Amino acid sequence: MSIWNDMTWVPALRTPFLNQVFELITLMGYPLFLLMFLCFGYFALGSKRFFHTAMLLMAAAMVNSWLKDIGQDPRPAAEFALDGGVGKSYGWPSGHMQIAVVLWGYLAYSVRHTAYKNLAYWAAGIFIALQGFSRLYLGVHDLGDVASGFGIGCLCLYAYIAAENHPRVSSGIAQLPIVQAVACLFVLHVLYTIFYPSHIDHYAPVWFMGAMMGWLLGRYWMNGSEVSLPGPKPAQLLVASGLTGVSFVWMALMTRLPRELGLGETGLAMPVNYGFGILFGVGIIFVLPKLLSKITAMASA
């Protein structure tokens, strides 16, 4: 068996303590953590930085989903698996690894001009390595899956940063009116859905595409301004945590309502799911900050 697919070395590494450690680490690559981390970061750690982080992460997730469903590469044998959260998804490329590269890599890059530059790069490298190894340790990806996730993640990160730093591209995107920006993203989503390799239990991630659209709409309606939290830094972190809690409830509503309405993932259900995703994105990026500013103004009046 090729080294890229061999998993026989994994069980010998396992202990009850390490099982818990790597199960915790791997949770950081699942949508719930990622969305809540993006919400907290948007409120507390820089709205512009986390807007770009979210757009890159969602685009990379769409790429990963498409590659998984077109390749249909099976995961390692079930006897090796300790992570039951993978469902019916395929193995190649590792989504956890790809997302870790774009998330932690972009955040480290975004503070390159600060005193935290070296620390950020070291922390990003450690987080990425731990996330990749967790997938091997838990037996749900082989070395080939993780290596390809790393490579594709690097390509996504490089492409986004290159576009961001290209004067004509970045200025052209920044100057797009909201109607044109929304139309361009919507066309890309339609094309992505049309050419998505759908098959039983595997469909385009329409809700997340809607969340991406909602994120864009909310950012335009905020006029690119930063979220302003009241009080000193500890109080700001506390407020951001509260807003993240509200975001969790809002996300639960926006993901559960389609299921309660009996909607599937195909046909007429697709635009409805897309709409719920938009509501989630707009609620986080625009509605919550505006409500906070009104409450703050009333409290200080």
Residue 48 and residue 139 in one domain: yes
Q: What count of Cα atoms within 13 Å lies in the side-chain half-sphere of residue 131?
A: 26
Residue 250 and residue 124 in one domain: no
Report percent pLDDT > 90 for the chain: 74
CB 203 within 8 A of CB 271: no
Residue 164 and residue 182 in one domain: no
**Quick one: tokens of 131?**
């996330």
**Domain ranges, residue 34:** 1-173
Residue 206 and residue 159 in one domain: no
CB 14 within 8 A of CB 120: no
Q: Is 15 exposed, middle or buried (0-12, 13-18, 19+ CB in 10 A)?
A: exposed
Final residue of a structural domain among 173, 197, 216: 173
> Could you give the number of structural domains in the chain?
2
Measure the CA–CA gap between 214 and 202, rounded to whole angstroms. Answer: 23
Measure the CA–CA gap between 4 and 7, rounded to whole angstroms. Answer: 9
Q: What count of Cα atoms within 13 Å lies in the side-chain half-sphere of residue 163?
A: 11
pTM confidence score: 0.93
| pLDDT tens over the chain, length 301 residues | 688 888 999 999 999 999 999 999 999 999 999 999 999 999 998 899 999 999 999 999 999 999 999 999 999 999 999 988 888 899 999 999 999 999 999 999 999 888 888 999 999 999 999 999 999 999 999 999 999 999 999 999 999 999 988 888 888 888 889 999 999 999 999 999 999 999 998 999 999 999 999 999 999 999 888 888 888 888 999 999 999 999 999 999 999 888 887 777 777 788 999 999 999 999 999 999 999 888 888 877 6
Position 43: which residue type?
A: F
Final residue of a structural domain among 152, 173, 194: 173
Residue 301 and residue 241 in one domain: yes
Measure the CA–CA gap between 95 and 62, rounded to whole angstroms. Answer: 10
Secondary structure element (H or E) that encloses residue 131, with its range: helix 117-137
Residue 24 and residue 154 in one domain: yes
Final residue of a structural domain among 173, 200, 230: 173
CB 216 within 8 A of CB 285: no
**Quick one: tokens of 259?**
């299921």
**pLDDT tens-digit map of 56-103:** 999 999 999 999 999 999 999 999 999 888 888 999 999 999 999 999
Residue 41 and residue 78 in one domain: yes
